[in-house]
Structure 1
Amino acid sequence: MLSVAHIGIVVKDTDKSLDFYTRVLGCTVEETYQDERIRLTFIKAGQQTIELIQYQEDAVKTRGAGNVDHIAFAVTDMEAEVARLRQHKVTLLLDQPKVTNGKKILFFAGPDGERLEFVQKL
């Protein structure tokens, strides 16, 4: 079985997204790369890697279709994490965490409107 190497998310502003993922969610920068057409920043979220992809203006036109529905982050204290999101004025996509299938879940938006989720096993 293959394991996930990373999840790539196309962002409009790497600096804004990097601030969100590091300051609000506690991720850390692992590696960066930039050339005339693209800027890549790899960040660690626990054992997982997320790749933030910012295309330069001309490269955006040649990018093919692609879509990531959401990224889920495992948490141990949903209430504390929701309070932290509210403190940072993050847009919540549910008013309150929802309990489903033995888990508490909450969807919220990243800086480019990407759908993110917190999951707490009960």
Structure 2
Amino acid sequence: MRSIHHIAIICSDYERSRHFYSEILGFPVIREIFREARSSWKCDLDAGNAAIELFSFPDPPPRPSYPEACGLRHLAFAVPDIAAEVARLEGLGVSTEPVRIDEYTGQKFTFFADPDGLPLELYEDAATAS
């Protein structure tokens, strides 16, 4: 195994989540397909070295997040300047937790949630600066 190819996310409101991931978080849409047999949308988003697959299904069951359940804990995005990204997100109405420092790496990080409450993280990584 060499890398992460994609991350699949099932959402409860496709249009709301598509807007969040493409317009607010800024991941460009690669392709978007309506799968009639499943009554489901699939949207592939360019997340750099991996893709995010955003799916809609009729009436998906809720996934427990809090208290933390066994399984995938969160999805983290590398950003070059966490303060700027937090300010940008909060300016768009996305609440973030206070920025903390990773006690082992010394890097700054914070958490926020997608429209379905999926925990997401911003992790400051100067190497992501262009």
- TM-score, normalised relative to structure 2: 0.78
Unaligned runs of at least 5 residues, structure 1: 62-66
More strand by proportion, 1 or 2?
1
Q: CA deviation at 1:102?
A: 2.3
Corresponding position of 1:104: 108
Aligned with 1:121 (options 120, 125, 128): 125
- Residue 15 of structure 2 aligns to a residue in which SS? helix
Identity %: 37
Preserved contact between residue 74 and residue 121 of structure 2 (Cα < 8 Å):
yes
Counterpart in the other structure of 1:49: 51
Q: Which residue of 1 aligns with 2:66?
A: none
- Deviation, structure 1 residue 69: 2.5
SS of residue paired to 2:17: helix
Q: Any unmatched runs of 5+ in structure 2?
A: 62-70
Where do 1:78-97 residues align within 5 Å? 78-92=82-96, 94=97, 96-97=98-99
Structure 1 runs of 4+ off > 3 angstroms? none
